Amino acid sequence: MDNATLKERILGLVPDAEFQENKQFLTFIIPPARMLDLAVALKTETDLAFDFLFCLSGVDMIKFLEVVYHFESTIHKHQLALKVRVADRENGSVETVSNIWRTAEFHEREIYDLLGIRFNNHPDLRRIFLEEDWKGHPLRKDYVDEVNIVEL
């Protein structure tokens, strides 16, 4: 499916998705409440068949936290990027997609560990790299690095 048709298709599934200009991937900002339904459709609809979640990242944009999903279909070879924005920095959460793409389980744990975004219904949401009693989430822009590990 080419990008123009794919754009129509996504907007058909989620009418309030916001299209974002990007040179490389077709990118949409999805309202958090609509993400799970869309994720199921992306995986199961045969003309979409986004079966490979090749990257899942979190970004701290200061005004909000962002989860970025990069999808590829191994059948149709088309690609898609989705973003979900979390406004609440303290208790913000996103629905997990780890039951749809199993690779998300580790990546979501990583995002929770380093950026502090919670994932609802995640099977095992623990810190993955840092210790359980670590305070704060290092990749947030307001994180204070008291022991000065990074700046040397």
Partner 1 sequence: MKEVINLPVKNIEEEEYHINMGPQHPSTHGVLRLVVSLQGEIVKSLKPHCGYIHRGIEKMCEKDTYPQIIHLTDRMDYLSAHINNHAVCLLVEKALEVEVPERVKYIRTIIDELNRIASHQLWWCSFGMDMGGLTCFFYGLRDREKILDIFEESFGSRLLHSYYTPGGLMMDIHPNFQKGVKDFIKYFRKKIKDYDDILTGNIIMQERTKGIGVLTKEDAISYGVIGPSGRASGFSCDVRKHHPYGVYDKADFREILGNDGDTFTRYLMRMHEMRESMKIIEQLIDNIPAGDYTAKMKAVIKLPAGEYYQRVEAARGELGVYVVSDGNKTPYRMKFRSPNFSNLSALDHISRGVKIADLVAIGGSLDYVIPDIDR
4/149 with CB nearer partner 1: 149
The bridge status of strand 93-95 relative to strand 65-72 is: unpaired
- Phi and psi of 124, rounded to 5°? -155, 70
The bridge status of strand 65-72 relative to strand 79-86 is: antiparallel
Size of the site for partner 1 (CB under 8 A): 36
Strand pairing partners for 55?
70
The answer to the question of residue 106 lying near partner 1 (CB under 8 A) is yes
CA dihedral 70, 74, 76, 78 (to 10 degrees): 20
CB of 142 to partner 1, least distance (A): 13
Residue pointed to by tokens 């670590």: 134
The answer to the question of residue 52 lying near partner 1 (CB under 8 A) is yes
The answer to the question of residue 25 lying near partner 1 (CB under 8 A) is yes
> Could you say which of 63, 77, 133, 135 contacts partner 1 (CB under 8 A)?
77
> Could you say which of 23, 133, 142, 144 contacts partner 1 (CB under 8 A)?
23
DSSP H or E segment with residue 55: strand 52-60
Binding site for partner 1 (CB under 8 A): 22-25, 27, 51-57, 59-60, 68, 70, 74, 77, 101-103, 105-107, 110, 114, 127-131, 138-139, 149-151
